[in-house]
Amino acid sequence: MDAVAAQKDTVGLPEPCARVPVEHADFIRQVLDRIGDKWTLMVVASLHGGLMRYKDLQSSIPGISQRMLSRTLSQLHQDGLVTRTAYAEVPPRVEYALTPLGASLNDIVASLIDWAADHHEEIRRHRAGTGAADAS
């Protein structure tokens, strides 16, 4: 019945929720825009083990192209999340690694990946039949 709405009305946000919901959405927006692209989190996740070279990263991330890897790496470097060490030697070698800042993000990324690993089946089940009988 209609009693479901009795638990809490005033759908706005009159409560003193200390969280940062959407009021300060500006920097959330910025962070989301940065990490919300197709590869950033993958690269960060790949870097969790330590130093990695350009080609190793590319090998590590199946479908990524040079362009996307370079772009992502540049953004990450610009934002101070990864370090870039270039050895201007005969065989060019460039190594990337997470900065402490990047590592802190990686911690959350790891949580996200963990969550994905833990719930992707459930999501797929729901996607097949949204709370209803199986459709396939």
Partner DNA sequence: CAGTATCCATACAGATACTG
Partner DNA sequence: CAGTATCTGTATGGATACTG
How does strand 52-53 pair with strand 82-87?
A: unpaired
Query: To 5 degrees, how large is the angle CA 57–CA 59–CA 96?
Result: 15
- Give the three-class secondary structure for 122: helix
- Binding partner of 66, given DNA, a copy of itself, none, CB within 5-8 angstroms per partner class: DNA
29 binds DNA, rule: CB under 7 A = no
CB of 102 within 8 A of CB of 44? yes
Quote the least distance from Cβ 74 to a copy of itself, whole Å: 10
86: DSSP letter: E
Quote the least distance from Cβ 131 to DNA, whole Å: 15
* Number of shown-chain residues binding a copy of itself (CB under 8 A): 75
Indicate the length of the chain as a whole number.
136
Residue from 20, 25, 74, 125 binding DNA (CB under 7 A)? 74
Query: In the complex, which residues of this chain contact DNA (CB under 7 A)?
Result: 4, 7, 33, 37-39, 53-56, 63-68, 70, 73-74, 84, 86, 91-94
